Structure 1
Amino acid sequence: MSSKTPIGMIGIGLMGHGIATNLVKHGHPLTVLEHPGNQPLDALKAAGAKSVASIAELTAAAEVIVLCVTGSPQVEAVLLGDGGVLASLKPGTVVIDCSTAIPSSTLRVAEAVQRAGGRFLDAPMTRTPKEAAEGRLNLLVGGDAALFAQCRPILACFAENITHTGAVGTGHGMKLLHNYVSLGTVALIAEAAACAQRSGVQPEVFVDVLAKGGGGGVALERLKPFITRKDANSLRFAMSNAQKDLGYYAEMAGDIGAAQAIADAVLATYAGAVEQGGPQRYVPELVELLAKK
């Protein structure tokens, strides 16, 4: 893979826009699929990216196709559906799925890509749109080691830390493990912050004591702006996406018979927040929603 490898990308949302921006910045000819869910494409086009209206046009232009869509149903639709990527995939094309997905679905998708003559990596990400724009994502990559090494220069265009997790599907599995721990910790702190609010503990005192003790860490830092001044922008992650990711984790745990009692409670917390406050509220607002219960 060279710096001039032509890349096609599907899913130019909050995270995908940052990925696309950095691919263009590093000199890759980039073709993106037009879609109502995309972020504005003006800056990408001004930087040299091309947009197309059909998947067939995108596959014709690309040697590598990057997906950054919502989840497994969207990945399956984009790849396997009528007029999907596999209908016009060129032999040897590499599909890199940066979405969050269920590992059992990923394995089915990867097999279908391989039958169609392509190659597949699952490469979900952690961190936020800020790091995506900065080219500083963390990537968890599942797939053949030789293919991973071949694609690493492309991944390095938009990622700071890149971990090869093992075979196909392990990247998506590790992403779900990560998000369960991350979102679970956020939910625990949010519930405690709501209790503190009701019991009269000052927000600054609550945050300071946790930060100096066992409650310190990334989750607290991401919640701190909302706890202290009602600013939710430090974690621009929709409550509905949290519910989806935790639902995926619960499905994965169920598939392999793993313990999941705590996971079920965390999932119920986010599901209740979506019902109470709507799907687009940012995760830090969980504090306020729980305080109102």
Structure 2
Amino acid sequence: MSGSVGFIGLGVMGEPMCRNLAQKSGRPVLGFDRADAPLERLAASGVTRAASLSALSEACDVIFMALPSGAHVEAVTLGADGLLAHTRPGQVIVDLGTSPVELTRDIAAKFVAAGAHYADAPIARTRQAAEEGTLSIMVGADQPTFDVVRPLLATFASDITHCGPIGAGQIVKILNNMVLVETVVALSEAMATATRAGVDGKLLFETLMKGSADSFALRNHGMKAVVAETFPERAFSTTYARKDIGYALSLAQSVGLRLQGAELADQLLEKTQAEGFGDLYWPVVSRIVAKSN
């Protein structure tokens, strides 16, 4: 394929991914978002504004979606005048967000029935990684579809893993997020305990980085958010983190497992929302852990 590429969802992560795609792919890129500002910024990189979802679908061979949740993906793909209504044989639809596994497979089946192709390719890592083109992406797709999308994904990702058939990418990403959230809960517990026991929290984390407790979560979420007490809006929010934990719990239930660590993380995120921190960067859960009991 060598035609136009579409990109739907130009938020915190979507905008830099779309910019990298336009600058590196050598293909025309059409963008669509409800907000004007990212489209105005992306115009400098050669991204053309699509007037509607239908116009984007009709013009593009490959369409990426970087949307906040499975509900948004469902609306964009299956809603009135959504992508499915305008798809055509051979077209490729790629979900870059984190969506429920069963919903992903259901949406994919509808596109496949129409002669199109579908891939779940949820992204991992930070906004800085999106800017630098060094995201990690976990792909669920058949081999021919993976072969088509991989060069395009490589414009904004440095690690691309083919995890298996449709849905496999979501499974791996959901479990990635589950482990990340549970790790930050553990770091928050360590910070709260150290502080109350008279040890400086920053010193604690810097020392943990030198030992077996070191991790990506410690170096990024721990040092840059929990220690720094920095939990901005327009980052990955508590509400979104709890959504992903909900996906993990549903996935585990579907295979007959109970995940008590994930249940605890869900409860703490629920308390964080109840305290009015739902829109803040989700490591703010550390505040709830620190004041418990």
TM range (shorter): over 0.9
- How far is 1:227 from its partner? 4.1
Cross-structure match for 2:50: 52
Cross-structure match for 1:185: 183
Letter in 2 for 1:30: V
- How far is 1:204 from its partner? 2.6
Cα separation, 2, equivalents of 1:115 and 1:238: 35
Identity %: 34
**TM-score, with structure 1 as normaliser:** 0.93
Which deviates the most, 174-183 or 281-290? 281-290
Cross-structure match for 1:269: 268
Cα separation, 2, equivalents of 1:225 and 1:46: 31
Q: Which runs of 5+ in 1 are unaligned?
A: none
Aligned residue pairs, count: 289
TM-aligned CA distance change 1:119 to 1:227, over 3 Å: closer
Letter in 2 for 1:7: V
- Secondary structure, aligned partner of 2:38: coil
- How far is 1:84 from its partner? 0.7
Cα separation, 1, equivalents of 2:80 and 2:206: 54
Cα separation, 1, equivalents of 2:70 and 2:7: 17
1:21-69 CA-to-partner distances (Å, cap 9, x unmatched) read 0111012211111314x76222211221111231111111100010111
Say whether 1:114 aligns with 2:112.
yes
Q: How does 1:201-216 map to 2 (within 5 A)?
A: 201-216=199-214
**TM-score, with structure 2 as normaliser:** 0.93
Cross-structure match for 1:250: 249
Letter in 2 for 1:111: A
- Secondary structure, aligned partner of 1:100: coil
1:231-257 CA-to-partner distances (Å, cap 9, x unmatched) read 346x94211111111011111111111
Cα separation, 1, equivalents of 2:123 and 2:133: 12
TM-aligned CA distance change 1:138 to 1:226, over 3 Å: closer
Letter in 1 for 2:242: Q
Cα separation, 2, equivalents of 1:132 and 1:110: 25
Letter in 2 for 1:198: R
Letter in 1 for 2:94: I
1:150-175 CA-to-partner distances (Å, cap 9, x unmatched) read 22111111110000000110000100
Cα separation, 2, equivalents of 1:81 and 1:118: 17
Which deviates the most, 220-229 or 253-262? 220-229
Cα separation, 1, equivalents of 2:225 and 2:113: 48
RMSD of equivalent CA atoms? 1.7
8 Å Cα contact 1:165/1:171 also seen in 2: yes
8 Å Cα contact 2:249/2:258 also seen in 1: no
8 Å Cα contact 1:24/1:47 also seen in 2: yes
1:181-218 CA-to-partner distances (Å, cap 9, x unmatched) read 11110111112212222332212331133223332111
Letter in 2 for 1:92: G
Cα separation, 1, equivalents of 2:97 and 2:226: 30
Cα separation, 1, equivalents of 2:226 and 2:124: 23
8 Å Cα contact 1:102/1:172 also seen in 2: yes
Cα separation, 2, equivalents of 1:53 and 1:150: 26
Say whether 1:74 aligns with 2:85.
no
Letter in 1 for 2:238: M
8 Å Cα contact 2:12/2:235 also seen in 1: no
Task: Write out the 4+ residue segments of structure 1 that deviate beyond 4 Å after TM superposition.
Answer: none
- How far is 1:259 from its partner? 3.1
TM-aligned CA distance change 1:142 to 1:190, over 3 Å: same
Cross-structure match for 2:91: 93
Q: Which runs of 5+ in 2 are unaligned?
A: none
Cα separation, 2, equivalents of 1:225 and 1:97: 29
